[in-house]
Amino acid sequence: MNNEKTGTLQESNLTVEDRANSKRTQEKPAVVSSREWKQVNWFHRLSKMLLSLIAYAVFILCAFALVEFIFALAHVGEDTVVQPDPLLGYANLKNQSATIRQEGYSRSHFNSIGFRDREYAIPKPEGIKRIAVLGDSMAMAFEVPLERTFSKLLEQKLHQDGRKNIEVMNYGMTGYGTGQEYLLYLDRVAQFKPDYVLITYHLGDLDDNVAGGTNPPRPTFSVAPDGSLKTNFQDVDSWFAKDDARFYKSFEWLRRNSRILAILNKANLNLGSDSAYKLLSKVLGKPVELAWSRILSALPAAEWRRCLDELHSSEAGKMPALPGSNHTAVSPNQQGASALLAVSSGGGAKTAEAPAAAPVPVPVPAAPPVSAPQVDNGQSDVNLLRGYLLANTGRLAVTKAILRDLNLRVQANGGKLIITSLPAFSNSVFYYRELDELRQFCTEKDIQFIDATKAFPPREPMAQCDFFYDLHFNFAGHKRMADVLYSQLKL
């Protein structure tokens, strides 16, 4: 009896074991070759690596987006405002916002043509009179809010005395000389039909009109022996043909929108004078820049490929024929920016006859007395001044030729030219000598000249002043300048 039970239990156990073995046999995978196994393992590793890279990329993008968001809330990295310009060398970005903290503080927005002001209607509304203010950073006035610049304070004063039909437009641009302001008027300001064009003349404008090799580049001017004004775009055209310009232009979207890039760019500018940093940038950055330029060169529709063509096809038609002007342009290919200045009987709208421009005298005049604060170091200073005048007569002639042609263009457009000086350091003897020359020139050409330097106290270099932050007007300076213009403008 016991034996039967034992046999039955063993048989039962064997049955369970057999069933288990049978199940394991059924679940055993098919035999895979070593080659197939390597392929499966490689694909698994590659998939895992790609997923990791995607995860890292998403993490980095989210981190950058978070930093950009924080910077946007704090208005940090919003001081990128300049772009290459095929006519002017450089100009402000259009429809761009900016926050400036270098001197003073301001938040600004650039309008659709790239200037720190609101939009203005074209054509000019009936009954409206306009004053266009052209100048350098003193006129753009990044250091104060727009409504507290001397342009807008002047407008407020005019409105307060009942002349609410006058608009004062701010066309100031950092670093511009008189020549660039002349081209700016032709290309972008004249279409608004200003009744008065106010040129703010400042220390350094004389050099800005003739000095080549600047960075960023600018057009330069000269006077031919017959007195005609010549414009040379060689520096601008050459820079646009370089890989640097292509690289710079291709990142315009990032420069507009990335605050991180703006901070890095500012750090790059601040470290630009360090020799070790220059070497490191050349070694590491140049290959990337050249590689990116080669990639762009394979894209014929890329925006930068049309940079020099922006003015070729259309801007010449905007230039009204001016029979009285003898302005010619010189450019390596005799087109592009030069086309804007080409005056022909078939180009642009017809305008009223303007008087012929008189040649600029080349002989060196005798040096008249200087109205600036006098130097008192003896005969050596007198000789220094005379030497400067002899060497700088050509630059004064160029500036006069620019203003002469600008005056003719403004008159042909139905406006009137006004020139005002801006204060400088009290030891800027040569600058005050320039103002004496400009005052005499304006008298001869029947152009109103406002000498604002007399309304400001003498200021020594690097000394604190009630009207300046450092190099630019503070609130009090803009108010004083607006008062001067309001009291002396003949409107």
What is the DSSP pairing of strand 89-92 with strand 82-85?
Answer: antiparallel
Q: How many CB atoms lie within 10 A of CB 224?
A: 13
Distance CA 59, CA 481 (A): 52
Q: pLDDT (tens digit, 9 = 90+) per residue, 273-314?
A: 667 766 776 666 667 666 655 555 554 433 433 443 343 333
* Structure tokens belonging to residue 344: 């022909």
Q: In whole angstroms, give the CA distance from residue 354 to residue 377.
A: 48
What distance in Å separates the CA atoms of residue 117 and residue 110, rounded to the nearest whole number? 6
Rounded-to-10 torsion of CA 183, 389, 226, 200: 20
* CATH fold of 82-210+365-488: Rossmann fold (3.40.50)
Closest CA to 209 of 200, 199, 218: 218
Model's pTM, two decimal places? Answer: 0.72
Per DSSP, the residues of 160-214 read HTT-TTEEEEEEE-TT--HHHHHHHIIIIIGGG--SEEEEEE-TTHHHHTT--S-
Record the tokens describing residue 55, joined without a space. Answer: 């995860």
How many CB atoms neighbour CB 103 within 10 A?
A: 17
User: CB–CB of 348/318 below 8 Å?
Assistant: yes
- DSSP assignment letter at 454: G
Q: What is the pLDDT of residues 190-224, one digit of tens each?
A: 999 999 999 999 988 988 898 776 777 899 999 98
Q: Which two tokens stand for residue 299?
A: 């894209």
- Joined together, the tokens standing for residue 397 give 């002639």
| pLDDT at site 365 | 35
Which DSSP category does 378 fall into? -
Six token digits for residue 103? 């001197």
Residue for token pair 């350098």: 136
DSSP 465: B
Please write the tens of the pLDDT for every residue from 365-396.
Answer: 333 343 444 444 445 555 655 665 565 778 88
Query: Which one-letter DSSP state was computed for residue 98?
Result: E
